[in-house]
Amino acid sequence: MNQDLMQRGKAIKLAVFDVDGVLTDGRLYFLEDGSEFKTFNTLDGQGIKMLMASGVTTAIISGRKTPVVERRAKNLGIPHLFQGREDKLVVLDGLLAELNLSYEQVAYLGDDLPDLPVIRRVGLGMAVHNAAPFVRQHAHGVTQARGGEGAAREFCELIMQAQDTLDAANANYL
């Protein structure tokens, strides 16, 4: 495991996720009635639950707004949800003030240009494997998995491994 990522992961108190292309495969599905649906990976959901159980707070900041994401966040118990916000760094500034945290204590997983200001500013800014090349180039690290296919799980496990809580999280299921 990359030592720089491990070092950065030790300080993380807040993990923030983009949705489209990170928690989903990035495709948008629109039905004839105008509604939309998304598919989420259960491995990612379990990873987020394990990360929260290890003591790391979680948040979603998404440029799009949809009831499906609200339902998913509620189902996973993600306490901080911000939708319809392209100004992700401004949103994060407010959340950090509310939680009394610094940028160095934040990990962020994204995939495209609206995520880049946050990825470049936080303590651990990562991109999914299939992120835009410019975003991958400026991230601290890139997941092996693609968005919507276990990338969030990998990100969560990296943080838990850095904080030496992954074995305990897995042991809860033995």
Binding-site positions for substrate read: 20
Measure the CA–CA gap between 23 and 156, rounded to whole angstroms.
12
Annotated binding site: 18, 20, 111
Measure the CA–CA gap between 108 and 87, rounded to whole angstroms.
14
Greatest alpha-carbon span in the chain: 49
Q: Which helix (H) or strand (E) holds 43?
A: helix 42-53
Annotated binding site for Mg(2+): 18, 111
Measure the CA–CA gap between 64 and 52, rounded to whole angstroms.
24
Give the DSSP per-residue string, 81-96: EE-S-S-HHHHHHHHH
